[in-house]
Chain A
Amino acid sequence: NAGVTQTPKFRILKIGQSMTLQCTQDMNHNYMYWYRQDPGMGLKLIYYSVGAGITDKGEVPNGYNVSRSTTEDFPLRLELAAPSQTSVYFCASRFRRNTEAFFGQGTRLTVV
């Protein structure tokens, strides 16, 4: 019973590099979300998706891109990494609006 799986768990990037954070869920959830968690700042919504082929911006989308080609996967792409993107990233999914959101274990990203 995997739930929401994020990879990698940790990553160090150099300024200007790119990478993709992977998120997969096996619960057949339509709604998927990406958040970043900075110390003392809570969780900020980056992007979200309500189904395959549909994505929308959240509160802090700049510097990120997403795609949703399947129900299961919702990768987050960082282009030209910057120190300001150092954070813990969480992926979440839920069956429909207003239901419980299930979270992955997070990815700790450091940009140096």
Chain B
Amino acid sequence: AQTVTQSQPEMSVQEAETVTLSCTYDTSESDYYLFWYKQPPSRQMILVIRQEAYKQQNATENRFSVNFQKAAKSFSLKISDSQLGDAAMYFCAYQQDNTDKLIFGTGTRLQVFP
């Protein structure tokens, strides 16, 4: 069974600084998709960024970027110029290409200090 591991239960960062959240996954497949979701205190789940495993280039969305290391099965999220509104739970998720399941990690709680 595929698993997704987020080894950092909590992280903190100063406003305007950069922080990296870790995610590793276990799979024997070569085609899959990876996602980062944000869950603010409102509980609403929001897609932050998405990466296709067959793409070498790391995905980027404004201040959010990933470091995708396929051989190491690592998918970290970098948040640049952190803002107070970035404070939330962040979940890494894995989707195997030929299945319909979307599997989530345990989450990392990010605090942003002014």
Contact = CB atoms under 8 A, between A and B. Distances in A.
Interface residues of A, number: 24
B45 interface: yes
Interface of B: 1, 4, 6, 9, 33, 35, 42-45, 47, 50, 52, 91, 95, 97, 99-107
Interface string A7-42: 000000000000000000000000101010000111
Say whether chain A's binding surface is mostly helix, strand, loop, or mixed.
strand
B101 A35 contact: no
Given A40-B9, A98-B33, A98-B95, A45 B101 contact: yes
A59 B44 contact: no
Interface of A: 31, 33, 35, 40-45, 48, 50, 56, 58-59, 88, 90, 92, 97-98, 100-101, 103, 105-106
